[in-house]
Amino acid sequence: RKEVEQDPGPFNVPEGATVAFNCTYSNSASQSFFWYRQDCRKEPKLLMSVYSSGNEDGRFTAQLNRASQYISLLIRDSKLSDSATYLCVVNSGGYQKVTFGTGTKLQVIP
């Protein structure tokens, strides 16, 4: 099993739709979790950290499920500008223990 797994997609959704991505991780000792957004040929940009209690930032909600070892990202009211690849990042407690998923591609269509 890979350390961090994401469905590569693409997820093609109409504007205004709600879409959710999951990311599973294998190390139960993982300590911190993040979602990044990466546009084509650009650097990854931090979207949000994922806290045990879950967190929300506008249209974006992130959840952590430690029992089942996955994190999720929910995007409500999708905009064309949300089209990007979403990377999950899992840190198992050290500099060499940061693992990036390969990303889930989202395409929001008019």
Give the DSSP per-residue string, 75-108: E-S--GGG-EEEEEEEE-SSGGGEEE---EEEEE
Site string for other proteins, 28-67 (x = CB under 8 A): ---xx-x-------xxxxx--x------------------
Q: Which of residues 73-92 bind other proteins (CB under 8 A)?
A: 87, 89, 91
CB of residue 71 vs other proteins: minimum separation in angstroms? Answer: 14
Q: Which residues contact 50 (CB under 8 A, 6 or more apart)?
A: 33, 34, 35, 62, 63, 64, 71
User: Nearer Cβ to other proteins, position 29 or 67?
Assistant: 29
Q: Using an 8 Å Cβ cutoff, are 86 and 35 in contact?
A: yes
Nearer to other proteins, 89 or 106 (CB): 89
Least distance CB 85 / other proteins (angstroms): 11
* Cβ-based nearer residue to other proteins, 69 or 99: 99
Q: Which residues contact 67 (CB under 8 A, 6 or more apart)?
A: none
Contact residues for other proteins (CB under 8 A)?
4, 31-32, 34, 42-46, 49, 87, 89, 91, 93-96, 98-103
